[in-house]
Amino acid sequence: MTLQFSLTRQSPETAETPCVVAGLYEDRVLTSAAARLDERSGGAIKRLIESGDVTGRPGSTTLLFGLDGVAAPRVLLVGLGEQKKLDAAVFHRAAHESARALKGLPIAGAVSTLAEVDVPGRDLPWKLRTLALAADHQAYRYTATFKPKDKPKTPQFESFAVAVAAETEACGKALAEAVAIAKGVQFARELGNLPPNICNPAYLADQAKSIADNRAGVSLEVLEREDMRQLGMGSLLGVAQGSANPPKLIVLQWRGGGAGDKPYAFVGKGITFDSGGISIKPGAGMEEMKFDMGGAAGVLGAFVAAVELKLPLNLVCIVPAVENMPDGAAYRPGDILTSMSGLTIEVLNTDAEGRLILCDALTYAQRFDPQVTIDAATLTGACVVALGKHASGLMTRDDELAEQLLAAGQATHDRAWRLPLWDDYQGQLDSGFADVANIGGKYAGAITAGCFLARFTNGLRWAHLDVAGTAWDEGRKGLATGRPVPLLVQYLLDRCA
């Protein structure tokens, strides 16, 4: 359930809310809201600053209780760093850290005044959407596989209001976008966090059916193993043949544009569990391979958000959903697979399976004659080594498309970084036994994976997002992030502007 978002014109010192959020800078400068709270409380905030108990370090938070003259029983101060250095990244951090602090309090709601902060190059709607999405992201709780608990005795964080001087149409539009994106992000996060004994290919197909059943204008087709065999999807089926869970090819369509308008196509890697197959992964950390369907979760979440917003465009979402398991029927290193495109593939490593299911899905996407095709996949550990957990890898030969996706990532702080797709790398995929090998050696692993996919996108305006580093937070308590839902939705919103 997403938070309930709203706008308010209440003053910070008189707002009737369990908690008011206000910002302060590292150079002892108060925001307007913090100054009003300080004045009403007889200088309480400035005294804490002078004593060193409160700082304005970026992302720092301090909770104050029962300030004299202030209606709210709690005031949460969040640091904004040096005023002259404040930018979109610092604001994004302040939004998330303040929301993280709110989640831990026994309160039902809060009012944030951070929209008053001047962020160079960003307008009020951007700030509203950023604050709302940060609050919703931090408020998320995964509960699906825990024993049901009694109703909490303390209030739970459920509503979030942002103080504004005036409630304009643009402000309302920004909150509507935030609600839709938040629904898409939560949909993606929940899919990613579910265990693989629940979230298998059939479950993904069922979730797609729920999307289609509950939203007008959406249609669904699910291709079964025999359908894929008749289409010649030997690459996808090769990956699937070692699992007791049959593969599914999920095709959702949203028709919000004209009947003759070419659709946008999203393709998401849906490996619901990746053991590595015969090239089995090390045991340590293998449980995280339930997240290997993060690309599928991301494109499905973006599809949900696009439909919620009723975007005036046509969109097709294709998810090849497969398990990669090592039983007696599993495909092997040395096998030659024939893809739907007719290209043959030498399997050198069965743990490079994502590209093998995506290549057939990308070929299938061409029957919709899309104007743009974007795939998202937790494709390579090499991308994590290159970019860490902050940026998704972006690969495309289309400079304009690259600029559009990079801009969408910057606008949502769901950032990507472009890697080259030069033909110089293609030689690493040469095979003496097939048209192409499925890996290109130890160097430039993320790029050669993109080069492999590029061979199946001839004639398409196509981009590849490697989200292996960004789709989930690592560790025993790591959760799915919902990326790249914000980036993809912003890209579509920009096409409708």
Q: Which residues are catalytic?
A: 281, 355
Task: Say how far apart CA 7 and CA 162 lie, in whole Å.
Answer: 5
Task: Say how far apart CA 488 and CA 376 lie, in whole Å.
Answer: 10
Task: Say how far apart CA 322 and CA 316 lie, in whole Å.
Answer: 19
> Is residue 254 within a helix (H) or strand (E), and if so which, with residue range?
strand 248-255
Task: Say how far apart CA 313 and CA 489 lie, in whole Å.
Answer: 12
Query: How many C-beta atoms surround the C-beta of residue 328 within 10 A?
Result: 5
442 CB-side CA count, 13 A: 0
Q: Coil, helix or strand for 386?
A: helix
Query: How many Å separate Cα 423 from the centre of its chain?
Result: 30
> Is residue 323 within a helix (H) or strand (E), and if so which, with residue range?
strand 314-324
Contact between 450 and 264 under an 8 Å Cβ cutoff? The reply is no
Closest CA to 462 of 373, 361, 345, 360: 373
Task: Say how far apart CA 110 and CA 113 lie, in whole Å.
Answer: 10
Task: Say how far apart CA 484 and CA 467 lie, in whole Å.
Answer: 7
Name 11's Cβ contacts closer than 8 Å, sequence gap at least 6.
36, 163
- What does DSSP say about strands 314-324 and 264-268: parallel, antiparallel, or unpaired? parallel
Contact between 443 and 386 under an 8 Å Cβ cutoff? The reply is no
How far is the CA of 293 from the CAs of 195, 270, 457, in angstroms? 11, 4, 21
Task: Say how far apart CA 428 and CA 439 lie, in whole Å.
Answer: 8
Tokens of 463: 């981009």
Strands, E, within 340-469: which ranges? 344-346, 372-377, 392-396, 416-418, 436-437, 462-466
Q: What residue has token string 């910057």?
A: 410
Task: Say how far apart CA 72 and CA 69 lie, in whole Å.
Answer: 9
Cα torsion angle, 250, 256, 261, 266, sign? negative
Q: What residue has token string 């010192």?
A: 13
Closest CA to 272 of 250, 305, 251: 250
